[in-house]
């Protein structure tokens, strides 16, 4: 498997990220639609919590999150996507995100999963998230954020 690198998302990544996610059913629990405007709004408020995964210079995955501490909610993962639904790419993105959350002292982390995505819900539960509530959307919460290489601690 090719080596992937992860970096914080940049403004120049917006078109590629939007294009990659365009064919997917994407909207957040709050009804935020998958659109260039929605992505730009989140990135303008705080681009430091969003990441892309690259294979050479090509984006192969992304994690877009927002800081919700002003609402006493920690951080929320709005969208997490990887080509070929690769768990390895998603893991790399989550680890970069966890490192940033630890550095900023942000906790908890929430992610919303639609009821028709049971595999994704199980993936997140396997990475420490627990179920917060369920109806058509399940909110998963991570309170004990793993420490990664960026924090100088072993995971």
Q: pLDDT, tens digit, for every residue of 59-85?
A: 999 999 988 866 666 788 888 889 888
CA 124 to chain centre: 11
The pLDDT value given to residue 18: 92
3-state secondary structure of 26: coil
Asked if the peptide bond before residue 108 counts as cis, ω within 30 degrees of 0, the response is: yes
Give 21-66 pLDDT, tens digit per residue.
886 655 555 567 788 888 888 888 887 899 999 998 899 999 999 8
What top-level class would CATH report for the domain 5-109? alpha beta
Quote the mean pLDDT of the chain: 78
DSSP letter (8 states) at residue 135: S
DSSP letter (8 states) at residue 33: B
d(CA 50, CA 10): 9
Query: 31-42 burial string, b = 16+ CB within 10 Å, else e?
Result: ebebeeebbeeb
pTM of the model: 0.79
Domain segments of the chain as ranges:
5-109
Q: Which residue has the tokens 């009804």?
A: 31
């Amino acid at each position: 498997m090719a080596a992937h690198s992860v970096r914080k998302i940049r403004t120049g990544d917006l078109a590629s990220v939007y294009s990659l996610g365009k064919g997917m059913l994407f909207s957040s629990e709050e009804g935020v639609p998958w659109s260039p405007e929605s992505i730009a709004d989140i990135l303008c408020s705080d681009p430091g919590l969003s990441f892309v995964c690259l294979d050479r210079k090509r984006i192969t995955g992304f994690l877009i999150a927002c800081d919700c501490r002003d609402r006493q909610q920690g951080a929320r993962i709005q969208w997490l996507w990887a080509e070929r639904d690769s768990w390895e790419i998603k893991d790399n993105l989550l680890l970069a995100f966890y490192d940033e959350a630890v550095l900023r002292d942000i906790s908890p982390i929430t992610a919303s999963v639609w009821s028709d995505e049971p595999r994704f819900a199980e993936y997140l539960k396997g990475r420490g998230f627990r179920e917060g509530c369920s109806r058509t959307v399940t909110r998963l919460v991570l309170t004990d954020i793993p420490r990664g290489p960026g924090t100088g601690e072993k995971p």
